Structure 1
Amino acid sequence: MYNHAPSDYICPVCLLIKGNDNPLSKQADIVYKDEFIMAFICANWKVNNPGHVLIVPNQHVENIYELPVDLSNQIHAFEIDLAKAFKEVYRCDGVSSRQHNEPAGSQDTWHYHLHVFPRYRDDNLYKSPSRRSTPEERKPYADLLRGYFGYSDATTS
C-alpha cells in the first residue's frame, strides 16, 4: 500500500551500506556508520548548501510508514550530533532537516533517508537549484565530518 519500489529495484543505499559504490555515492562519502545507521555526503547538492548529509538506517526500510521507532530514535539522535558537527566544522548559521515519502511526497530513492542541510543566512535553500557534485567536491566535507566523528574505515581513507 505504501511501497513504490519496482519489484526489480536494486537499492543504491543498500549497496553503499554493504560496502559497494553506487552510480552516485562512493564509500569515501561515508562520514559515520554503526550497527544501526549510516550517514554520508549526498551527491545531489543545493548550490548554496554544499556538503549536506543523508542519514539512513542500515536495515532496508522504504519509508517512514515502515520505520521502527528504535531506528527512528537512532537516526534522530545522530541528527542532533550532526547538527552540532555542522556548526563546528562548516561554521554554518543554522541547520535544516527534511524527509520525503512516496512519489507525491517527492521521494525518489526507495530507502528511508533524512536530509540534513547546513544553512547560511539568505541561502534560499528551498528555491535554489540542485546540481550533481563530484566525488572530489564531496571529499573535503566528508573529511571534515569523519574527523569530527572520529570515523575511519579502510574504504574511506
Structure 2
Amino acid sequence: MDDCIFCRIVRGELPASKIHEDEHTMSFMNIMAAHPGHALVIVKPHRKDIFELDDTLSAAVFQATAKVAKAVKAVTGCDGVTLFQANEVAGGQTVFHFHIHVLPRFNDDHLLPFWPAVAPNRADLDAMAARLSAAL
C-alpha cells in the first residue's frame, strides 16, 4: 500500500533503525518505545493482520521474532520479554500492517497487564477447545 508507514519503511522511503532483514521480514526499533530495546518485527509484503498471513510468512515472522527477542534480552539485560501482536480495531491494532512488538520487561516496570484474569470451569474450557479444534 502506498501510504502504509511500514510499507514505506520496507521500500526505504522512511528511515528506520534496522535490526534485521531477510527475504520475508524486517525488524527495527519502535519509535514509540515503552523501554529501550522495544523492537518491531514486520512482514515485508503488506498484510493487514494475522488473518492475511500464509504459512510461509507466519513461519518467517515468528522465526525472526525469536531471533530479535533473544538479542533484546542479551543486549538490554531485561528480566523478560513480552511479545504483543494485535489484530483489528477491537483487538487494539493501530497500524494495519502485520507486526509483532518485542518488548523488554523488567521486574517492577509497572506496565499494566492487558486483561483481568478469570478462571472458567473445565467444562467451559473443554467446550471451547472442541469448537476451536473443529474450526481448524
Whether 2:11 is the aligned partner of 1:10: answer: no
Residue of structure 1 aligned with 2:108, choices 102, 122, 125: 122
Which of 78, 95, 101 is matched with 1:92 structurally?
78
Compare relative contact order (CA 8 Å, sep 6+) and give the higher one, 1 or 2: 1
Q: CA deviation at 1:9?
A: 6.8
Q: How many residue pairs were aligned?
A: 113
Identity of aligned residues (%): 36
So what's the TM-score if we normalise by structure 2?
0.77
- Give the TM-score normalised by the residue count of structure 1: 0.67
Identify unmatched segments of 5+ residues in structure 1. Answer: 1-7, 128-157
Q: AA paired with 2:10?
A: I
Alignment counterpart, residue 44 of structure 1, candidates 3, 15, 32: 32
The alignment yields a C-alpha RMSD, in angstroms, of 1.6
2: distance between equivalents of 1:126 and 1:77?
27
How far apart in 1 are the matches of 2:69 and 2:112? 18
Counting only pairs closer than 5 Å after superposition, residues 5-154 of structure 1 correspond to structure 2 as 10-21=3-14, 26-27=15-16, 29-46=17-34, 49-126=35-112
C-alpha contact (below 8 Å) 2:41/2:61 kept by paired residues? yes
3-state SS in 2 of match to 1:101: coil
Aligned equivalents of 1:68 and 1:120: distance in 2?
A: 34
The structure with the larger Rg is 2
Indicate if the aligned counterparts of 2:28 and 2:41 stay in contact, CA closer than 8 A: yes
Q: Distance in 1 between matches of 2:9 and 2:37?
A: 18
